[in-house]
Structure 1
Amino acid sequence: MIATKKIAARAIAVCAAGLFVHTLALATIPVQHWTQTSGAQVYLVESPAIPMLDVQIDFDAGSRRDPPEQVGLASMTADMVDKGVRASGAAPALDENALGEAWADLGAQFGAGATADRMSFSLRSLTDPALLDQAVALAARQIAEPSYPDAVWMRERQRLQAALKESYTRPASVIGRAYAKAVYGQHPYGYEMTDATLARISVADLQAAHVAGVVACRARISMVGAVTRAQADVLAARLLSRLPQVPCASLPPLPVVPEVAPLEKAQEINIPFDSAQAHVLIGQPGFKRADPDYFPLIVGNYILGGGGFVSRLTNEVREKRGLTYGVSSSFSPALNAGSFTVGLQTRPDQTAQAVKIARQVVSDFVAGGPTPAELQAAKDNLIGGFALRIDSNGKLLGNLAGMAWNDLPLDYLDTWTQQVQKVSVADIKAAFGRKLQPEKMVTVILGAAK
């Protein structure tokens, strides 16, 4: 073990210096994809210059599949993965402290988490055989055999319930909950985790959610690092080897998640709150990640409010009128339609004026689209900054996992700048006209002056 620690320490020191130097200085990024006999899909980008491997494994087991009375189940199922693994065969049980020490000894990192759409497991390890073999074996145990100790869950649940109570004192948390409920209605994207929903989650519920959601044949495995396709195939199989190897065809299909309902009319919600600044969120359901309007919408949003100081919203609300230090707009596309959101903070007595101007800017943009000069400036910035999206193995892994999750073409990264370049003023105007209805947007205001 001492020798292993020395190898890990030396290699980590080498990798830390070059971790953020992207190694694929190529005209193209060759993405390899195949399906294993288990049904798991594997995506690989070979990056041999740094002796490191980054892995992300995704399952369709995110919070959109939480029962309404147990909101938080997916997040807690994932968060408890690092609290211990059960004994299996000759492998002894490990508690959370033993797990932490084991990963520290290997100089590797393992994590688990859940978003609205997916439950994800991540592994970062050096590719030295003495380390990678042990890291993969330990990761496979955590993926398949979390122990979900009852006493630890009781402790974690109390901690989360206390954190929830504290969050009700933070304006960003309060307005975020109200906004999600107003935009998504009864859709799972709008569910709110509360003290009551956490209280209804037992260890048996965590175990059942893990068994139902973490299924080998439904895995999407993304890898970036110094491994070949043959090595990656073996590693992927080993990472899933402790899960039941059941064909997906023999399993009941996952329940269909309903689409996000469009808003029927405008709504303004005012929340009293003792705050030095009024917080404002304006928006509506947006679009799915698979929508063909994706590129016109992201380029257009850069012009509207995503481009920082060069955006229209910043120019009109901040620069011309001094109503805020910062205002922005964003889309959050997902498997279902994520939100389009304009966010700003302003002095309470200026709230009405700031809201009026922000709404007008959005309405004018949807009606008229950008100018040719605005479009060219946006393209220059987006294309010029593309290299920063993939300048480390970690960033490249995030892009690769997004491709895998959303079934994007394998040349997606190679053609990204071309897709941006070919967007026209007419494309943006048409796409925004199809997706946004300014006259029906919800406005949530917290802490405005009476």
Structure 2
Amino acid sequence: MIIATKNIAFQVFLAGAASLCIQSYALAGIPIQHWTQASGAEVYLVESPAIAMVDVQVDFDAGSRRDPPAQAGRASMMAGMLDKGVRAEDGAPALDENALSEAWADLGAQFGAGASSDRLDFSLRSLTEPDLLDKAVGLAAREIAEPSFPDPVWQRERQRVQAAIKESNTRPGTVIGRAYAQAVYGTHPYGYEVTEATLARIDVGDMRAAHDAGVVACRARISMVGAITRAQADAMAARLLSRLPQVPCASLPPLPAVMEVAPLSQSEEKRIPFDSAQAHVLIGQPGFKRADPDYFALTVGNYILGGGGFVSRLTNEVREKRGLTYGVSSSFSPGLHAGSFTVGLQTRPDQAAEAVALVRQVVSNFVANGPTEAELKAAKDNLIGGFALRIDSNRKLLDNIAAIAWNDLPLDYLDTWTQQVNKVTAADIKAAFARKLQPEKMVTVILGAAL
């Protein structure tokens, strides 16, 4: 959880000033500096001297794909406990969650942790005034390396999350999402379900062990955007990791391999009775990894198929021509493993069969024939014209730099993004979709009343 600052006006200033500064990147190159520290940690930096602030993200391979099946949710729960206290180490006093919150507020800085499917991340935002930044980096280093995982707080948090899960199980979106993930991913960790039972099997010792195994200095990827030099960034990165054990990765056991997502062998349709005014529909299959060379062809193609909102083919066919839904969309979710391709919509229960048949037809036609030249031109114009919105704040730029770091993308990725989009052809899209999607083997999950 991100710690809020006391000075709201200061935060508004930062957001506005950063936005004005980052807009200039849309018109010029974004020089990304990259180097490896003696510890093995990799650092990525974009110098942005106009505003006296810095944003930092530190990533580790300790996301939920590392969770044991019986302890699904361990990574996200661990991340949620990292701001609940730090232990006393090397003469520094222990701090509970209230003391930590007050310390961050007094610094006018933000620090937080989160876990996604692939990674555990720590984020820091601070002014670059030397005394404030020095204290902020020092406190962040303690939270990264020395969480206390207090058991009474975990018991409280577990009860809170279990109650939230119980409540969410009354929502149609949760129920269909769970069934869909299990159907698409099977036994892969991307499809694990966090339940009251899996949380009951997690104790503070499990979280501490996961932290110690995953949060290792030599495996860190550190991304920075702000008013700091390379020398300052190097010193900051070293200090952020300084309280972790300083051991070379070669001396550590390798992280366990994670299975790949298995392709679907046949189509499957699941119908879930649920007291809901609308029928909820999800259709899809495993998609592709983020490092796939077809990434740009699939991105442009999906914009045409269902990712472009009101200008997409699915919206035109399902909503505009036939009025079967208020909204329909398609998306890919690539990660270190093949994330899902998903088409989602809601419709009246008595129209569900017609809507599903039409979506299948539109997807099959797109995979077989690809886009028209007119669709391709419109998609390119929209994607290239909207590129500046992808980097129009420090946070967005940092997200992009962190994605480059995490996925080992070229350092000129952002500089060449519009060129990569512009060179995609209709034939590229047709070939890429044919390689990745098999409409005849997709999963369909329909949830609603009287199905």
TM-score normalized with structure 1 length? 0.97
Q: Secondary structure at the match of 1:413?
A: coil
1:440 counterpart residue number: 441
2:21 counterpart residue number: 22
Letter in 2 for 1:392: S
1:179-233 Cα distance to aligned partner (Å, 9 max, x none):
0000000111111111111111111101000000000000000000000000000
2:350 counterpart residue number: 349
Is 1:133 aligned with 2:139? no
1:397 counterpart residue number: 398
CA contact (8 A) 1:9 1:107 kept: no
Q: Secondary structure at the match of 1:125?
A: strand
- The residue correspondences of 1:88-237 to structure 2 (distance < 5 A) are 88-237=89-238
Is 1:45 aligned with 2:46? yes
Residue 88 (structure 1) shift: 1.1
- The residue correspondences of 1:370-389 to structure 2 (distance < 5 A) are 370-389=371-390
CA distance in 2, matches of 1:360, 1:35: 50
CA distance in 2, matches of 1:61, 1:226: 29
Is 1:243 aligned with 2:244? yes
Structural RMSD (CA): 1.3
CA distance in 2, matches of 1:221, 1:319: 46
Q: Secondary structure at the match of 1:19?
A: helix
Residue 176 (structure 1) shift: 0.5
Q: Which runs of 4+ in 1 moved over 6 A?
A: none
CA contact (8 A) 1:349 1:448 kept: no
1:317-354 Cα distance to aligned partner (Å, 9 max, x none):
00000010000000000000000000000111110111
Is 1:55 aligned with 2:56? yes
Letter in 1 for 2:191: G
Letter in 2 for 1:237: A
1:65 counterpart residue number: 66
Q: Secondary structure at the match of 1:330?
A: strand
Letter in 2 for 1:144: A
CA contact (8 A) 2:21 2:51 kept: no
1:76-135 Cα distance to aligned partner (Å, 9 max, x none):
111100000011122111110111111111110001010000000000011111211110
CA distance in 1, matches of 2:198, 2:146: 25
CA distance in 1, matches of 2:121, 2:10: 26
Q: Does the C-alpha gap of structure 1 residues 234 and 10 become closer, same or farther in structure 2, counting only changes over 3 Å?
A: farther
Residue 448 (structure 1) shift: 4.5
CA distance in 2, matches of 1:89, 1:232: 24
Deviates more, 1:23-32 or 1:364-373: 23-32
Residue 18 (structure 1) shift: 1.4
CA contact (8 A) 1:217 1:246 kept: yes
CA distance in 2, matches of 1:392, 1:191: 33
CA distance in 2, matches of 1:212, 1:29: 34
CA contact (8 A) 1:53 1:226 kept: yes
CA contact (8 A) 1:15 1:51 kept: no
Q: Secondary structure at the match of 1:21?
A: helix
Residue 12 (structure 1) shift: 4.6
CA distance in 1, matches of 2:397, 2:118: 20
- The residue correspondences of 1:286-435 to structure 2 (distance < 5 A) are 286-435=287-436
Letter in 2 for 1:18: A
CA contact (8 A) 1:267 1:442 kept: yes
CA distance in 1, matches of 2:10, 2:380: 40
CA distance in 1, matches of 2:273, 2:9: 56
Q: Secondary structure at the match of 1:341?
A: strand
Residue 16 (structure 1) shift: 4.0
Q: Does the C-alpha gap of structure 1 residues 9 and 64 become closer, same or farther in structure 2, counting only changes over 3 Å?
A: closer
Residue 21 (structure 1) shift: 1.9
Letter in 1 for 2:100: L
Equivalent pairs: percent with the same residue?
79
Q: Secondary structure at the match of 2:149?
A: coil
CA distance in 1, matches of 2:20, 2:214: 36
CA contact (8 A) 1:59 1:213 kept: yes
Is 1:268 aligned with 2:269? yes
CA contact (8 A) 1:351 1:448 kept: no
Residue 390 (structure 1) shift: 0.5
Residue 20 (structure 1) shift: 2.1
Residue 11 (structure 1) shift: 5.6
CA distance in 2, matches of 1:335, 1:449: 39
CA distance in 1, matches of 2:222, 2:16: 27
Q: Secondary structure at the match of 1:77?
A: helix
Q: Secondary structure at the match of 2:20?
A: coil
Q: Does the C-alpha gap of structure 1 residues 298 and 13 become closer, same or farther in structure 2, counting only changes over 3 Å?
A: closer
CA distance in 1, matches of 2:377, 2:367: 18
CA distance in 1, matches of 2:434, 2:411: 30
Aligned length: 445
CA contact (8 A) 1:12 1:126 kept: no
1:244-301 Cα distance to aligned partner (Å, 9 max, x none):
0010000011111111000000000000000011100000000000000000000000
CA distance in 2, matches of 1:51, 1:171: 46
1:332-385 Cα distance to aligned partner (Å, 9 max, x none):
000000000000001111101111111110000000000001000000000000
Q: Secondary structure at the match of 2:346?
A: strand
Structure 1 residue ranges without an equivalent (≥5): none
Residue 15 (structure 1) shift: 2.3
TM-score normalized with structure 2 length? 0.97
CA distance in 1, matches of 2:432, 2:90: 57
Residue 10 (structure 1) shift: 8.0
CA contact (8 A) 1:85 1:147 kept: yes
